[in-house]
């Protein structure tokens, strides 16, 4: 049994943080599902920026969209949804078998809307409707404005992948927003289960404090915040409040470990996979990390939910002068700005393609 299968057997879902037309056309994604226990995937503007610029696989889509007079943004969503529908169909048996818990693909709303709750909510509903697949997550950032959109979108019954979470407080606020959306559904007599994951970004935390912590804490902040998030996850969803919702058919929002590719070349390339083995959670990883883990990865000891252990680890960073919440806030702000930059680059890429691709004869 390979390492991904072992991790899946532990109860953690492995998702691929990548999608390209080539992955679909060559059968590579189907092979990852069959051989490497991949049960879902995530996408983002940076992934598509590289895919559209690096191949001719999307030239026909770009040409046809331009011929219809579509905006660059509309062209992108059409081609991305075409890919994601195909991927969603590959994961559909998993989605059905798990009762809607697993087997999702993700599409991000425009990052330009990150600070506009009403527009984000409206766009989430629009994109999910266009996607036409029940196992399509709409990604919404966990910014203060995003939290309002998350609650409203969950209430509307649209599955949400909450992105850009970097600290325990941000993660708690996300679970609260999700729960309020579910509570509103129960009050209205609507089905209590709406799929959702909360994506806590891991590796960027270590990059943010590199050179500011002693050697024994190097590349440890991401794992520490991940552990604390798992503690909060297990604690939050075991409360009486949530047991009442569970009686109505609700299910916990799953904790997802994102940004789990190792950035430090001196560290293990599977650091954030082996170190975050945890039942009932998701780890979404870049393709090279997935392949490295399949080749030589080792499944680490499962995370425990002991709050005392997590508190001791966080205290070591406090003693080293690191304000974890301040770091998380800075990363969320920078992350939102970086998503905007990636989005503009993506649209510029499509604009360039429109000029390069010859019209249909």
Coil, strand or helix at 200: strand
Cα(267)–Cα(290) distance, integer angstroms: 16
From the candidates 50, 139, 263, 334, which is the catalytic residue? 139
Contact status, residue 281 vs residue 233, Cβ threshold 8 Å: yes
Name residue 136's beta-bridge partners.
105
CA 175/CA 198 separation, integer angstroms: 8
Distance from C-alpha of 65 to C-alpha of 107, rounded to nearest angstrom = 19
Where do the H-state alpha helices sit in the chain?
A: 3-10, 21-25, 28-35, 45-54, 59-67, 72-97, 117-131, 144-155, 168-187, 203-209, 221-236, 240-247, 271-274, 287-296, 307-319, 324-356
CB contact at 8 A, 63 and 356: no
Residue 208: which residues within 8 A CB-CB, separation 6 or more?
221, 327, 330, 331
| Beta carbons of 17 and 41 less than 8 angstroms apart | yes
Distance of CA 334 to the CA centre of its chain: 17
Contact present, 290 and 17 (Cβ < 8 Å): no
Cα-to-chain-centroid distance, residue 226: 14
Measure the CA–CA gap between 18 and 344, rounded to whole angstroms.
19
Is 139 among the residues known to form the active site? yes
Which residue in 152, 147, 159, 144 sits closest to 193, CA to CA? 159
Q: What angle do CA 293, 297, 301 make, to 5 degrees?
A: 120
C-alpha distances in Å from residue 2, one per residue of 242, 257, 270, 296: 36, 21, 14, 9
Helix (H) or strand (E) holding 256: strand 254-258
Which residues are marked as active site? 139
């Amino acid at each position: 049994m390979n390492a991904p299968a072992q991790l899946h057997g532990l109860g953690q879902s492995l998702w691929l943080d990548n999608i390209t037309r080539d992955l679909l056309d060559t059968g590579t994604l189907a092979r990852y599902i069959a051989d490497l226990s991949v049960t879902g995937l995530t996408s983002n503007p940076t992934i598509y920026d590289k895919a559209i610029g690096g191949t001719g696989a999307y030239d026909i889509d770009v040409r046809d969209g331009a011929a219809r007079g579509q905006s660059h943004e509309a062209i992108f969503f059409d081609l991305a949804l075409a890919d994601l529908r195909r991927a969603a169909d590959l994961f559909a048996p998993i989605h059905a078998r798990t009762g809607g818990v697993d087997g999702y693909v993700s599409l991000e709303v425009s990052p330009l809307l990150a600070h506009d709750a009403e527009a984000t909510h409206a766009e989430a509903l629009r994109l999910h409707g266009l996607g036409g697949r029940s196992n399509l997550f709409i990604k919404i950032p966990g910014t203060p404005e995003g939290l309002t959109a998350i609650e409203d979108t969950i209430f509307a019954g649209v599955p949400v992948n909450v992105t850009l979470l970097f600290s325990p407080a941000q993660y708690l606020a996300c679970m609260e927003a999700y729960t309020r959306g579910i509570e509103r559904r129960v009050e209205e007599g609507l089905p209590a289960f709406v799929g959702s994951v909360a994506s806590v970004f891991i590796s960027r935390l270590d990059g943010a404090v590199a050179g500011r912590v002693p050697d024994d804490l190097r590349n440890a902040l991401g794992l520490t915040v991940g552990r604390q998030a798992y503690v909060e996850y297990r604690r939050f969803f075991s409360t009486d409040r949530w047991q009442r919702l569970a009686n109505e058919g609700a299910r916990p929002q799953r904790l997802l470990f994102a940004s789990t590719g190792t950035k430090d070349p001196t560290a293990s390339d599977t650091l954030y996979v082996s170190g975050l083995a945890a039942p009932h959670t998701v780890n979404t990883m870049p393709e090279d990390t997935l392949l490295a883990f399949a080749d030589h990865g080792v499944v680490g000891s499962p995370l425990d939910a002991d709050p005392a252990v997590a508190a001791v680890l966080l205290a070591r960073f406090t003693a080293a002068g690191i304000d974890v919440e301040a770091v998380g806030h800075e990363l969320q702000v920078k992350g939102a700005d970086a998503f905007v930059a990636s989005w503009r680059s993506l649209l510029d890429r499509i604009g360039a393609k429109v000029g390069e691709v010859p019209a249909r004869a």
